[in-house]
Amino acid sequence: MTLNSYFKAIQVAKRVQWSQFLDNLDSRSVWNARKIVIGKAPDRFLVLKNATTPAQINNTLLQHFFPPRPSPPPPLILPAFKAVPPVLPSEVSKALCKSSNTFTPRPSSISYPVRKTVHKANEPLLPSLFTPLLPHTYHPQALKRTNGILLDKPGKPGYSTSTSFPHHCSTQKCLQNS
């Protein structure tokens, strides 16, 4: 046997031994394999740039994964516009009348029957909430969106004409039925 074949046989034996070792790894010997590959025991703590102590590592990780929140936007300063007539209880009644008690609630999660009941119990309440917003042309996001769905009605051939949609009731009749 030549010297080269001797060293080659040693390399092959090492490769076979290492493969068998890796094939039979369990949860404890994984760390032994890492130690063999690195040549020393693994560091006990993470090594991060500019962080050597556990407290510094902790702060660095916290800052990375939980960055400070951006500062909130400045408060909205609403410009005053010309005088706007106040919202009248009768206008709120008329608007609520056009809504069905079976409609889905808006994104504010307040259903129309609840709004109608509140308005019926205290008519000046809802107008007093909306009137201050009008001169500033400010409309809350919850009032800008609605949830809706079109359902096929029995006996309707389609929705191509305005007569295919439901008829709205009058104000008095609507509030009496709610």
Whether residues 84 and 16 fall in one domain:
no
Count up the domains in the chain and report the number. 2
Listed in sequence order, the residues at least 6 apart from 111 whose beta carbon sits closer than 8 Å to its beta carbon are 101, 103, 105
Which of 13, 33, 65 lies at the terminal end of a domain, its last residue? 65
Whether residues 112 and 26 fall in one domain:
no
How many angstroms separate the CA atoms of 121 and 100, rounded? 18
Whether residues 78 and 30 fall in one domain:
no
Banded pLDDT at 122 (limits 50, 70, 90): very high
Banded pLDDT at 68 (limits 50, 70, 90): confident
Whether residues 127 and 53 fall in one domain:
no
Q: Which residues are paired to 48 by β-bridges?
A: 51
What is the DSSP secondary-structure string of 81-134? -S--PPPPHHHHHHHHHTS-TTSPP-TT---HHHHHHHHHH-TTHHHHHHGGGG
What is the DSSP secondary-structure string of 13-36? HHHHHHHHHHHT--TTHHHHHHHH
Residue 135: DSSP 8-state: G
Q: Classify 171 as helix, strand or coil.
A: helix
Is the pLDDT reported for residue 154 higher than 70? no
Whether residues 60 and 87 fall in one domain:
no
Percentage, residues of the chain above pLDDT 90: 8
Banded pLDDT at 27 (limits 50, 70, 90): confident
Question: What pLDDT is attached to residue 160?
Answer: 61
Whether residues 61 and 103 fall in one domain:
no
Whether residues 139 and 81 fall in one domain:
yes
Residue 92, amino acid: V
Which of 45, 65, 85 lies at the terminal end of a domain, its last residue? 65
Supply the range of the domain harboring residue 121. 72-151+168-178
Average pLDDT over the chain, rounded to an integer: 75
Whether residues 100 and 177 fall in one domain:
yes
How many angstroms separate the CA atoms of 61 and 170, rounded? 63
Does 161 reside within a domain? no
Q: Which of 130, 72, 71 is nearest to 96 (CA)?
A: 130
Q: Which of 106, 96, 116, 103 is nearest to 178 (CA)?
A: 116
